[in-house]
Structure 1
Amino acid sequence: MNRSRPRRGLAGVLALALGAAGLAVVSTATPAVAAPHYESVPSVQIGWTDSATPKAAYDSNETHMPLGTWVDENGRSHTSRIYATFDLSSYEDRKIYGGTIFVQEYSATDCGKRAIEIWRTEPVSETPTWNGAPKPLAKLDEIRTPEYCPKASISFDVTGAVQDAVAQEQSRITFEIRVPAQYESDPAYGRRLNWYRSVGLTTKYNTVPKIDNNNLYNAGLPCATLHPYPRVGGFANVLQALGTDADPNDERALTTEFAIWPTDRPEARKVFSKEYGISGRVNTVNLPQGTLTDGESYAWQARVSDKADFSSWSKKCYFTYDATNPTAPGVTSANYPSDDTDEWAPAGVPAVFTFSGKGDKDVAGFQYSWNDLGVNVCEASGDVGQWVCRDPFSLPNTVRADAPGGSATVTLNPAGSGPQRLTVRSIDAAGNVSTPTVYETLVPWSTPEVRVENGEPQWGQEVVLKFVPANGVTGVREYEVTLDHGDPETRPADADGTARFSFTATNPDGHSLTVRSRSANGFVSQKANWSAYFWPGPGVKSDVYVQSPDGSPVGGVGVEGTFTFSPPPGWTDVAAYRYGFVDGEELTEVAAGADGRATITWTPTTSGWVTLTVFAVKADGTWSDYGNWYSFEVAPTA
Structure 2
Amino acid sequence: MLTSRPRRGLIGALALTLGVTGLAVATTAGVASAAPHFDSPPAVQVGWVDSATPKTAYQADGDTNLPLGTRVDDAGKTHTARVYATFDLSRYEGKKIYEGKVFVQEHSAADCTKRAVEIWRTKPVGATPTWNKQPEPLVKLDEEGSSTYCPRSLAFDVGAAVQDAVAHKQRRVTFEIRVPEQYEADPSYGRELYWYKNVELSVSYNSLPKVDSEHLYNGGFLCTQLKPYPRIGGFAGLLQARGTDADEWDSPRTDFAIWPTGQPEQRTEFSSDRGTFGRVASGTVPAGVLVDGKSYGWQARVGDGADTSAWSKKCFFTYDGTGPTAPAVSSSNYPADDTGQQAPAGEPAVFTFSGMGDKDVAGFQYSWSGLGAAGVCEYSGEYGQLVCKDPFSKPGTVRAATPGGSATVTLNPTGSGPQRLTVRSVDAAGNVSAETVYRTFVPSSTPQIRVESGTPQWGQEVLLKFLPATGVTDVQEYEIVLDNAQPETRQAEADGTAYFSFVANNPDGHTVRVRSHSGNGFVSPEATWQAYFLPWPGVRSDVYPDSGEPSGGVGVTGTFTFSPPPGGTDTAAYRYSFGGDGELTEVAADSAGRATVTWTPETAGWVTLTVYAVRADSTVHDYPNWYSFQVAAAS
TM-score by length of 2: 0.90
Deviation of the 1:405 alpha carbon? 1.0
User: What SS is found at the alignment partner of 1:277?
Assistant: coil
Deviation of the 1:547 alpha carbon? 6.3
* 1:20 paired residue number: none
* 1:376 paired residue number: 374
State yes or no: 1:425 paired with 2:427. Answer: no
Matches within 5 A, 1:583-598: 586=582, 589=585, 591-594=587-590, 595-598=592-595
User: What SS is found at the alignment partner of 1:288?
Assistant: coil
Equivalent-residue separation in structure 1 for 2:611 and 2:20 (angstroms): 95
Q: Quote the sequence identity (%).
A: 61
Matches within 5 A, 1:518-537: 518-537=517-536
CA offsets, 1:608-633, max 9 Å, x none? x7555342453748587332434368
Query: Aligned AA for 2:344?
Result: P
Q: How many residues align?
A: 616
Matches within 5 A, 1:3-42: 26=21, 33-42=33-42
Matches within 5 A, 1:473-622: 473-544=472-543, 562-571=559-568, 572-576=570-574, 578-580=576-578, 586=582, 589=585, 591-594=587-590, 595-600=592-597, 611=607, 613-616=609-612, 618=614, 620=618, 622=620
Change (3 A) 1:565 1:194: closer
Contact 2:580 2:608 in 1 (8 A): no
State yes or no: 1:413 paired with 2:412. Answer: yes
Deviation of the 1:247 alpha carbon? 2.2
Contact 1:615 1:624 in 2 (8 A): no
Change (3 A) 1:558 1:45: closer
* 1:217 paired residue number: 217
Equivalent-residue separation in structure 1 for 2:139 and 2:22 (angstroms): 28
User: What SS is found at the alignment partner of 1:26?
Assistant: coil
Change (3 A) 1:10 1:312: farther
Contact 2:23 2:202 in 1 (8 A): no
Deviation of the 1:448 alpha carbon? 0.9
Change (3 A) 1:229 1:11: farther
* 1:194 paired residue number: 194
Matches within 5 A, 1:440-479: 440-479=439-478
Contact 1:24 1:155 in 2 (8 A): no
Equivalent-residue separation in structure 2 for 1:570 and 1:268 (angstroms): 74
Query: Aligned AA for 1:316?
Result: K
Contact 2:580 2:609 in 1 (8 A): no
CA offsets, 1:319-366, max 9 Å, x none? 110011111111111211111111111111111111111111111111
Deviation of the 1:453 alpha carbon? 0.7
Change (3 A) 1:428 1:74: same
Matches within 5 A, 1:621-632: 622=620, 625-631=623-629
Change (3 A) 1:221 1:530: same
Range moving further from structure 2, 106-115 or 280-289: 106-115
* 1:302 paired residue number: 300
Contact 1:297 1:320 in 2 (8 A): yes
Structure 2: 5+ residue runs without aligned partners?
Answer: 1-5, 28-32
Deviation of the 1:473 alpha carbon? 1.0
CA offsets, 1:197-225, max 9 Å, x none? 22111122222111111221111111122
User: What SS is found at the alignment partner of 1:346?
Assistant: coil
* 2:178 paired residue number: 178
Change (3 A) 1:182 1:477: same
User: What SS is found at the alignment partner of 1:164?
Assistant: helix
Contact 1:243 1:304 in 2 (8 A): yes
RMSD of aligned Cα (Å): 3.0
Equivalent-residue separation in structure 1 for 2:602 and 2:190 (angstroms): 134
Matches within 5 A, 1:211-360: 211-250=211-250, 253-360=251-358
TM-score by length of 1: 0.89
Query: Aligned AA for 1:425?
Result: R
Deviation of the 1:484 alpha carbon? 2.2
Change (3 A) 1:440 1:193: same
Deviation of the 1:563 alpha carbon? 4.1
Change (3 A) 1:135 1:610: same
Deviation of the 1:519 alpha carbon? 1.4
CA offsets, 1:250-301, max 9 Å, x none? 2xx2211001111110111111011143111211111221011111111111
Deviation of the 1:438 alpha carbon? 0.6
Equivalent-residue separation in structure 1 for 2:544 and 2:248 (angstroms): 84
Contact 1:574 1:616 in 2 (8 A): no
